[in-house]
């Protein structure tokens, strides 16, 4: 899965104190470890188990995911616009990989 691609949707500008919606999606099979292939062998679990969102290096939201999260996980949540800067998003894979995306915001 070297070609994992994440998508994020963040408003580029917001008024200070305004509540903004953040939408994220990442292409990932979220292999649950509960499926078998044709030969009857269990396909090993490989999911994204943690998602974090930081603003200017400080974590502002985190989520733990389990095997019931659908493939190609979609997540939306809210933040109160506090300061201009960069949002960094990170998806943590069972295999140790961390997939990243970022988005700028200008708060006035």
Q: Does 34 bind other proteins (CB under 8 A)?
A: yes
| Residue selected from 12, 15, 57, 66 as contacting other proteins according to rule CB under 8 A | 66
CA separation for the pair 19, 22 (Å, rounded) = 10
| Residue selected from 56, 72, 97, 106 as contacting other proteins according to rule CB under 8 A | 72
Choose one: 3-11, 89-97, 99-107; the region binding other proteins (CB under 8 A). 3-11
Choose one: 71-79, 86-94, 98-106; the region binding other proteins (CB under 8 A). 71-79
Closest CB 98 distance from other proteins, rounded Å: 18
Q: Does 77 bind other proteins (CB under 8 A)?
A: yes
Q: Does 101 bind other proteins (CB under 8 A)?
A: no
Asked whether the CA dihedral 81, 82, 85, 89 is positive or negative, the reply is negative
95-99 — which CB contacts under 8 Å span 24+ positions? 95/46, 97/1, 97/4, 99/4, 99/6, 99/26, 99/28, 99/48
């Amino acid at each position: 899965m070297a070609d994992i691609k994440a998508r994020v949707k963040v408003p580029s500008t917001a008024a200070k104190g305004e509540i903004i919606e953040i939408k994220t999606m990442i292409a990932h099979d979220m292999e649950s470890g509960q499926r078998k292939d044709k030969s009857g062998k269990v396909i090993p679990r490989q999911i994204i188990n943690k998602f974090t969102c930081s603003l200017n290096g400080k974590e502002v939201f985190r989520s733990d995911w389990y095997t019931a999260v659908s493939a190609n996980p979609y997540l939306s949540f809210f933040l109160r616009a506090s300061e201009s800067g960069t949002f960094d998003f990170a998806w943590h894979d069972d295999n140790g990989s961390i997939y990243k995306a970022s988005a700028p915001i200008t708060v006035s």
